[in-house]
Amino acid sequence: MTHEELEDAVPLYAVGALERVERQALEAHLLSGCVSCHTALKEYQSVAAVLPFGLNTTPPPRALKAKIMAARTPDALTVEPAAQHSPKPSLEPGEWMNHLFPPESSSRAVSFRWALGVATIAVLAIGSYLAWNSYVRMTEDTTTLAQLHAQADTTASKLTALQQQLNEREKTLAQLRDEIQLRTSDVTELKDQLIQREAELEDAKIQLAQRGGTQRARTPQDQLAVLLRTPDVKAVSLAGTDMAKRAAGVLLYDARTQKVWLYSVNLPECPNGTTYQLWAIHDKPVSVGMFHMDSGETAHLLVKQLPNFTSAKKFAVSLEPPGGRPQPTGPLYLVSQS
């Protein structure tokens, strides 16, 4: 039979109206796993189950029961039980489902229930163990977390105390810095006063020496002794050129008085009224002052006012005609090294 023929036989099978051969063929087809036929059979069986409720009941004739009872002979009674116990050649309608899902025996059901109970107990035991283990771990973790919180609080307290100590020390250091600055200002002021008093003392010595008729205080050594005791003095050395190789000089600058002190040695005698002229070289040479070297002199001290000393790039001493010149014209005898 084709699939279409088997599918058309499903409604007849649901109501038990198929012949034996057709019924066996359809059951074999259903056992093979045809999904569409299974679905159709379920639908038809549900309809067939309610068909009897839609029929009108007709009472049987009164003589029918007597005829049926009279027709029962002893041979029929003995044959009927044997026929009842004879193996069925085929499945009744709907019994093919038992081959797909055979009913379990009572012993097997008991074994299954016992195994299910044991499995349930085992699952409960394992679940209880896991729950207890989780509870223990949770308790340990909670204890550890509490300890960590306590340690964190202790550390935070220590950090707060250290921060307070640090703030107090910073305040103390700030006060000490202020005091040091104040003491430094006082020391600087006292130093300036001391320098001023020393300068006044040297002036007094010079005036006293002038009144006493001696020129000792005017010597270059005394003037340099006063200047060298002045703090923050700037010094520039000058070296002799080929015109006077043995000559040398030192230029000192006092920022407080804005004076330059040129102390030169071993310069040749100025011939024919010529003069030495000191130059501060900026973008162009600027005359600082002039001095004269007489016969027999080996050193000379020139003191002049020079406010723009720090902007000068170089210093030089040249030999110029009498009265000097606005720009150097004669040979250079001394030149600064910086």
- pLDDT tens digits for range 141-157: 999 999 999 999 999 99
Residue 280 pLDDT more than 90?
Answer: yes
Tokens standing for residue 292: 């004269």
Residue 277 pLDDT more than 90?
Answer: yes
Mean pLDDT of 292-311: 86
For residue range 175-200, what is the model confidence (pLDDT) as tens digits? Answer: 999 989 888 888 888 777 777 777 77
Mean pLDDT of 67-81: 62
Residue 279 pLDDT more than 90?
Answer: yes
Predicted local distance difference test score (pLDDT) of residue 107? 56
Mean pLDDT of 238-261: 88
Residue among 8, 48, 47, 6 at smallest CA distance from 30: 6
Mean pLDDT of 71-83: 53
Predicted local distance difference test score (pLDDT) of residue 73? 57
Helices (H) and strands (E) in the chain, counts: 8, 8
Mean pLDDT of 249-269: 87
Of 318 and 43, the one with more pLDDT:
318
Residue/partner pairs of 239-247 with CB below 8 Å, 24 or more apart: 239/334, 239/335, 239/336, 239/337, 240/266, 240/333, 240/334, 241/331, 241/332, 241/333, 241/334, 241/335, 243/268, 243/319, 243/331, 243/332, 243/333, 244/268, 244/333, 244/334, 247/333, 247/334
Cα–Cα dist 305/278, whole Å = 12
Residue 313 pLDDT more than 50?
Answer: yes
Of 292 and 91, the one with more pLDDT:
292
- When mean pLDDT is compared across 61-70, 74-83, 167-176, 288-297, the lowest value belongs to 74-83
Confidence of residue 101 (pLDDT cuts 50, 70, 90): very low
In the DSSP assignment, the letter for residue 329 is: -
Residue 82 pLDDT more than 50?
Answer: no
In the DSSP assignment, the letter for residue 3 is: H
Predicted local distance difference test score (pLDDT) of residue 42? 87
pTM over 0.75: no
- Percent of the chain whose pLDDT exceeds 90: 25
> Could you tell me the CA-to-CA distances from 219 to 158, 182, 198, 228, 246 in Å, in that order?
72, 40, 17, 14, 22
Top-confidence range, 111-115, 194-198, 227-231, 306-310: 306-310
- When mean pLDDT is compared across 53-62, 85-94, 145-154, 265-274, the lowest value belongs to 85-94
Residues 6+ apart with CB under 8 A from 134: none
Backbone angle region of 33, left / alpha / beta, with phi > 0 → left and psi within -120 to 50 → alpha: left
Query: What's the mean pLDDT when you consider all of the chain?
Result: 80
CB-CB neighbours of 148 under 10 Å: 10
Listed by start position, the domains of the chain span 3-102, 104-218, 222-336
